[in-house]
Amino acid sequence: MHGHILQLCVIQAVASFLHLEPKTATVLRGSEVHFNCSTDETWTVMTWLLGGRPVLSISEVHGPLGTDDSVRTVNHSLSSVSVWELVLMNASFSPTVQELTCELLPTTLSRSTADLFVQEPFHVDVGHVCD
């Protein structure tokens, strides 16, 4: 009996997921970029971090905590799966690769990361003619 319960727990642990998608995104500085964090785990707070710094926290019950003009969220959750979309607007971060993280609390092990590349907008210098 005990063994059966243990086995069920193991199967559940393997089956549960936390996905941050896309895994890689490239955005021009100043434009916006979208990511989805989805999970079937039970959570209380979802925190998004960019380069290790918190960008926004979302309460499972109350939704986004606090307001920040530089981010938007969309709740795409279904009854059994939580899906929150983060929109980083007006990407003004440094033009390098940064790690974006979606972290669930209280399960501290539950984090998923993606790489965000910010590129400088391409400038066309119409005044210069190459010869």
Ligand X SMILES: *[C@@H]1O[C@H](CO)[C@@H](O)[C@H](O)[C@H]1NC(C)=O
Give the residues lining the site for ligand X (CB under 6 A).
21, 34-36, 62-63, 69, 75-77, 83, 85, 90, 92
E-state strands within the chain: 18-21, 24-28, 33-39, 45-50, 53-59, 63-65, 71-75, 82-88, 97-105, 111-119
- Residue 72 burial by CB count (10 A; 0-12/13-18/19+): exposed, middle or buried? middle
Closer residue to ligand X in complex, CB, 7/113: 113
We find the least distance from the C-beta atom of residue 74 to ligand X, in angstroms, to be 7
Minimum CB–partner distance for residue 49 and ligand X (Å): 17
Work out how close the CB of 127 gets to ligand X at its nearest, in angstroms, rounded to a whole number: 25
**Least distance CB 61 / ligand X (angstroms):** 6
- For residue 97, CA distances in Å to 27, 50, 94, 122 come to 10, 10, 8, 17
CB nearer ligand X, residue 49 or residue 100: 100
CB of 61 or CB of 129, closer to ligand X: 61
Q: Which is nearer to ligand X, 27 or 110 (CB)?
A: 27
